[in-house]
Amino acid sequence: MSTDSAIRVVNDTEEGRAFLQERLALFTAVLAAVSFAFWVLLVAMQLPMRPGGLPTMQSLAGTMHVLQVVVLVAIRASLSRSRGTTTLYVFDAIAIVLSSVAFGAMAVLGHDAPRPAALRAYPQAINMMPAITATILIFLGRAILVPSTAKRTAALAGAMTVILSIASAIVFKRHLPPPVASTWPMGGVYSAMWCVTAGILGVVASAVLYKLQARARIADELGQYRLEEKIGEGGMGVVYRASHALLRRPTAVKLLPRDRAGEHTIARFEKEVQLTSRLTHPNTIAIYDFGRTPDGVFYYAMEYVDGLDLEDLVRRDGPMPASRVVHVLTQVCGALDEAHAVGLIHRDIKPANILLCERARAADVVKVVDFGLVKEIEGANADARVSALNTIVGTPLYLSPEAILTPGDLDARSDLYAVGCVAYFLLTGAPPFGGTTALEVFAKHMHGEPEPPSRRCSVPAALEALILECLAKDRERRPDSARTLRKRLDACGLDPWTDDDARGWWSERGTALRESRATVSPSNETLAVDLSQRV
């Protein structure tokens, strides 16, 4: 299940950082307690061998255990206050590296410390196995307790492997009888095999637990919606296919993480939901629910459409016949007519925001999506802080001249210009104006004349004239409303695109295209330019 992006959304939030800090504090506290317990055991074991009293710090093992406890207690104390994610990662690495170095040093340098007579008969090399075992147990404990990506766990496993392999090779060379000591490189290999095995287990454990923890928090925060798979991503957020926990209804959930946007963007995102939820046209995406998670991730649940966006469809299947273009645009105009009637303009009509699907046994059903740039045109209700009147918002290839020159003074005819651009693209396979930069495209929208689509493909004269009328620089020369445009599309006199035509296409091409959907072209990216910040 492809939920890596969803997991990052949740784990990269303030709550995710706090959860990491809480688990790291628990891990260091447990590790310090265990290390202290082993030091006490070491003291107890040495008491019978030292009739004169308690063992001194001459014991290297005792010294290393005490050092571990001191460092870990210091880290645990530091974690009582809020720390940044980078600092937490450093503390995480210190705990594992310190354990590897400490136990490796015990095995390598243990011969330099005074040893009770009862232990001198044992070869020093046997110290290596407890060192490896102890470090591996600590590493696996960390994989269970501390939320971590597989990549970060693998890096720590690599550090542990290098340190213990070097220590093991040194022990073999220095503390085994001469004939065996000549095989000292095998000591490193022996240690590396154990560490790599533990590393693989730790990486798998981290990956599984990291995802499970994130999914648990997502389930808790999004309540009745369970995320399943990412289906889209853009500057305004990430969209996932989801399901309702009780109704089992396919749903699309859009998330806007707090750390990816400021309060202004979040306010606009909330406005999108509130405005779009007022629309009930069958060709407009339906909004089911919205809210914020406890850590500030704003989300809303909407109708899930298992279809094709027009950008992807034309790029992969080629231009549409004129009758089908009229069929599609008629539905788009229906959705826009309702929005315009309640005082809303979309501002980002483009092929990628128009989905084509099969719905209720009907084929070629249009759904207009992504009202994230919607703007109220009723002066009494408009919120200047949310509408961002000084900002060019939209997709360069489909922006009207007035959206570029005077973005604060738009009306419904700006959407109709974009509909003309979409119609041009559907017929010819290319937008009316292209360019290598946004500024070049802007200039053509403002001053260039589009090449008549009939020079690129066969198109009825009446439809071509209507499209060029929608693309007029002066909005007064465009159709005055979406309803008017819809009526004039019907009046073009084309043979209708029938239900049989639509069903035939979906049977022959649509289903296969839907099942092998491609990534949307970068040309679809929405642009936001703050004019108040221009130099």
**What pLDDT band is residue 1 in, cutting at 50, 70 and 90?**
very low
At residue 58, the pLDDT reads 45
**What pLDDT band is residue 230 in, cutting at 50, 70 and 90?**
confident
* Residues 387 and 425 occupy one common structural domain: yes
For the chain, the domain total comes to: 3
Q: Where a domain ends, among 188, 221, 254?
A: 221
* Residues 299 and 314 occupy one common structural domain: no
Residues written for the chain: 535
Average pLDDT across the chain, whole number: 79
Q: What is the rounded CA–CA span in Å between residue 328 and residue 308? A: 13
- 354-359/308-309 β-pairing: antiparallel
461-468's contacts with Cβ under 8 Å and 24+ in sequence apart are 462/491, 462/492, 462/493, 463/322, 463/325, 463/326, 463/423, 463/489, 463/492, 463/494, 466/492, 467/420, 467/423, 467/424, 467/427, 468/420
* Residues 231 and 318 occupy one common structural domain: no
* Residues 229 and 330 occupy one common structural domain: no
Give the rounded percent of residues in the chain with a pLDDT score beyond 70.
Answer: 73
CATH number, position 370 = 1.10.510.10
Q: To 10 degrees, the CA torsion angle through 344, 416, 233, 427?
A: 160
The more confident residue out of 342 and 291 is 342
* Residues 265 and 382 occupy one common structural domain: no
At residue 295, the pLDDT reads 63
- Say if residues 392 and 439 touch (Cβ distance below 8 Å): no
* Residues 382 and 500 occupy one common structural domain: yes
Residue type, position 156, single letter:
L
The more confident residue out of 111 and 192 is 192
For residue range 452-506, what is the model confidence (pLDDT) as tens digits? Answer: 999 999 999 999 999 999 999 999 999 999 999 999 999 998 999 999 999 999 9
Which of 39-48, 274-283, 469-478, 495-504 is predicted with the least confidence, judged by mean pLDDT? 39-48
**What pLDDT band is residue 226 in, cutting at 50, 70 and 90?**
confident
Set 295, 337, 348, 364: catalytic member: 348
User: Is-catalytic flag, 317?
Assistant: no
Q: Is residue 297 classed as helix, strand or coil in its secondary structure?
A: coil
Q: Which of 109, 196, 120, 108 is nearest to 156 (CA)?
A: 196
* Residues 298 and 350 occupy one common structural domain: no
* Residues 134 and 8 occupy one common structural domain: yes
At residue 50, the pLDDT reads 57
Q: What is the rounded CA–CA span in Å between residue 326 and residue 118? A: 96
* Residues 146 and 185 occupy one common structural domain: yes
Q: Where a domain ends, among 202, 221, 240?
A: 221
The residue behind tokens 């022996």 is 190
Q: What region, left, alpha or beta, does residue 408 occupy, with left being phi > 0 and alpha being psi -120 to 50 degrees? A: alpha
When pLDDT is averaged across residues 507-535 and rounded to a whole number, the result is 59
* Residues 35 and 167 occupy one common structural domain: yes
CATH number, position 250 = 3.30.200.20
At residue 289, the pLDDT reads 82
The residue behind tokens 């063992």 is 55
Tell me which residue range forms the domain holding 124.
4-221
At residue 211, the pLDDT reads 74
Residue type, position 49, single letter:
M
At residue 110, the pLDDT reads 59
For residue range 362-394, what is the model confidence (pLDDT) as tens digits? Answer: 899 999 987 754 555 444 344 433 344 445 556
* Residues 206 and 278 occupy one common structural domain: no
The more confident residue out of 205 and 350 is 350
The more confident residue out of 154 and 250 is 154
Q: Where a domain ends, among 221, 244, 259?
A: 221
* Residues 132 and 158 occupy one common structural domain: yes
Global pTM value: 0.59
At residue 296, the pLDDT reads 67
